[in-house]
Amino acid sequence: MSTVITVENIGKRYSISHRSGGDVDSMRDAMTYGLSRLRARLLHPLRRQQLPVMEREDFWALKDVSFEVREGECVGVIGGNGAGKSTLLKILSRITEPSTGRVTIRGRVASLLEVGTGFHPELTGRENIYLNGAILGMSREEIRRKFDEIVAFSEIETFLDTPVKRYSSGMYVRLAFAVAAHLEPEILVVDEVLAVGDVAFQKKCLGKMKEVGGEGRTILFVSHNMTAVRRLCQRAVLLEKGVLTSDDGTDIVVERYLRQAQPAGSQEGALLKRQLAELPEDPVIEIVDVDFYQPGAGEVMVTGQDTFVEIRYRVKSPKPNLRIFFDVLDDMGEPVFRSFHDSDFAAPEMLEASEYLSRAVIPKDLLAPLRYCLRVGATIYGERSCSGDHLLLPFQIHRSGRVNRIYNYEVYHGKIWPHIAWQTTKTKDSDKDCA
Query: What confidence tens digit (pLDDT) does each residue in 198-223 have?
Result: 667 777 888 888 888 888 889 999 88
Res 67 pLDDT > 90? yes
- In the CATH scheme, what is the code of domain 60-259? 3.40.50.300
Give the residues across from 339 on adjacent strands. 326
User: CB of 225 within 8 A of CB of 256?
Assistant: no
Distance of alpha carbon 193 from alpha carbon 208, whole angstroms: 12
Given 1.10.3720.10, 2.70.50.60, 3.40.50.300, 3.10.110.10, which CATH number is that of 268-407?
2.70.50.60
User: CB of 333 within 8 A of CB of 194?
Assistant: no
Hey, is 336 helix, strand or coil?
strand
Tell me what pLDDT residue 264 has.
43
Res 410 pLDDT > 60? no
Nearest to 162 by CA among 131, 189, 125, 212: 125
Q: DSSP for 63-102, please give it.
A: EEEEEEEETT-EEEEE-STTSSHHHHHHHHTTSS--SEEE
| Sheet with 285-293, side-by-side order of all strands | 285-293, 307-315, 354-362
Q: Residues near 177 by Cβ (< 8 Å), separated by ≥ 6?
A: 112, 115, 154, 193, 197, 201, 205, 208
Q: Parse the chain into domains and list their residue ranges.
A: 60-259, 268-407
At residue 228, what are phi and psi to the nearest 5 degrees?
-65, -40
Distance of alpha carbon 236 from alpha carbon 254, whole angstroms: 8
pLDDT category of residue 124 using cuts at 50, 70 and 90: very high
Count the neighbouring beta carbons within 10 Å of the beta carbon of residue 1.
9
Tell me what pLDDT residue 117 has.
60
Distance of alpha carbon 86 from alpha carbon 192, whole angstroms: 9
Res 270 pLDDT > 60? no
Count the neighbouring beta carbons within 10 Å of the beta carbon of residue 386.
22
The per-residue pLDDT of the chain, averaged, comes to: 80
Q: Taking the complete model, does pTM exceed 0.75, yes or no?
A: no
Q: What end-to-end distance do the CA atoms of the chain give, in Å?
A: 63
User: CB of 130 within 8 A of CB of 176?
Assistant: no
Nearest to 178 by CA among 104, 230, 128: 128
Over residues 217-245, mean pLDDT: 87
Tell me what pLDDT residue 261 has.
46
Distance of alpha carbon 126 from alpha carbon 143, whole angstroms: 11
Q: Is the dihedral of CA 424, 425, 431, 435 positive or negative?
A: negative
Tell me what pLDDT residue 263 has.
42
